[in-house]
Amino acid sequence: MFTDPAELRAALQGRGTVGFVPTMGYLHDGHATLMRWARQSCDTVVLSIYVNPLQFGPNEDYASYPRDLERDLKVARSAGVDFVFAPSDATMYPPGFSTRVSVNGVSDTLDGLSRPGHFTGVATVVLKLLNLVRPDKVFLGEKDWQQVAVLRRMITDLNVAVEVVGVPTVRSEEAASLGLALSSRNSYLNEEQKARATVLSRALRAVQAAYAAGERDTQALKQAGLNVLKTEPDAQLDYLTVVDSNLQETPRIAEDPFNRILIAARMFGVRLIDNMPLSANNGAHP
């Protein structure tokens, strides 16, 4: 494990292609899947663990965000990670730090509305990490679909020499919580709450089913999901939307392999997000 970026870069010399998985720690099998994908296609795998204060709002859970470095190191080791980079706040944001990276357009909707400044914090820290690690590929989980879109845009616009690899969402297979998208924040929920939180994925599947039956009107598709959400009184909806590859919602859905259904809701005091493809072949972003 490295805390000093210069020491990490020295260790990476002559290590071939480098795959990078940026995380905030408290790793679960979704993270481990990213690491395994990196392991399969790269000579060297670097994992970062850093809870980034810049992407938390003033009333969010930065202080209470789950942390367990020793557990994370065991997960990383079992997934084949070569190096862990765990920088300090002083390394990432030294005294006088005053630069932010804003990605307009794709950051302005959905979570960008609900969490002002969040994507600026994400883009800033990821650009810094990419500059420090200098990987050939970066592996990002598609559970955070809008975040992946923001980072793709940033990497393209700023000519960052890295390939983005989107990895499909990993879902719980436990009997009590089938279909729940894995997230570090799931640790805030007990087993009964996790089971009830699957209403989000069930709502998304209802939209998929309506689309498969021939429905193309956006409002009708969304209503199919809302009908499922109504069955769970503890689901406080933030948004449910159907968007195209540009994260834009249109009155009717045109066939596009990158159409997506996205949902965010607060349940039992925890904000949860999820998404699924909406196209003839259920395609994901390459």
Q: Is 141 assigned to a binding site?
A: yes
115 phi and psi angles, rounded to 5 deg? -130, 75
pLDDT band at 279 (very low <50, low <70, confident <90, very high): confident
Q: Is 182 assigned to a binding site?
A: yes
| Superfamily (CATH H level) for 175-277 | Pantoate-beta-alanine ligase, C-terminal domain (3.30.1300.10)
Catalytic residue among 31, 36, 171, 196: 31
Tens digits of per-residue pLDDT, 207-253? 999 999 999 999 999 999 999 999 999 999 999 999 998 899 999 99
Q: Give the domain ranges of the chain.
A: 5-167, 175-277
Tens digits of per-residue pLDDT, 103-136? 999 999 999 999 999 999 999 999 999 999 999 9
Q: Is 223 assigned to a binding site?
A: no
pTM for the complete prediction? 0.94
Q: Is there a catalytic annotation at residue 285?
A: no
CA distance 239 to 273: 9
Q: Is 25 assigned to a binding site?
A: yes
Instruction: Check whether 177 has a pLDDT greater than 70.
Output: no
Tens digits of per-residue pLDDT, 76-99? 999 999 999 999 999 999 999 999
| Own/partner long-range contacts of 229-237 (Cβ < 8 Å, ≥24 apart) | 229/199, 229/200, 229/203, 229/265, 231/199, 232/196, 232/199, 232/267, 234/196, 234/267, 234/268, 235/199, 235/200, 235/265, 235/266, 235/267, 236/265, 236/266, 236/267, 237/263, 237/264, 237/265
User: Which two tokens mark 166?
Assistant: 């989107």
Would you state the pLDDT for residue 173?
73
User: Which two tokens mark 211?
Assistant: 């689309």
Please tell me the total number of residues recorded for the chain in this structure. Answer: 286
User: Which two tokens mark 130?
Assistant: 């990419």
Would you state the pLDDT for residue 176?
52
Q: Is 24 assigned to a binding site?
A: yes
Percent of the chain whose pLDDT exceeds 90: 92
Tens digits of per-residue pLDDT, 4-49? 999 999 999 999 999 999 999 999 999 999 999 999 999 999 999 9
CA distance 245 to 235: 27
pLDDT band at 174 (very low <50, low <70, confident <90, very high): low
In the sheet that 270-277 helps form, which strands lie side by side, from edge to edge? Answer: 236-243, 260-267, 270-277
CATH number of 5-167: 3.40.50.620
pLDDT band at 286 (very low <50, low <70, confident <90, very high): very low
> Which residues are CB-contacts of 97 (< 8 A; sequence separation ≥ 6)?
none
Mean of all residue pLDDT scores within the chain: 95
Tens digits of per-residue pLDDT, 254-266? 988 899 999 999 9
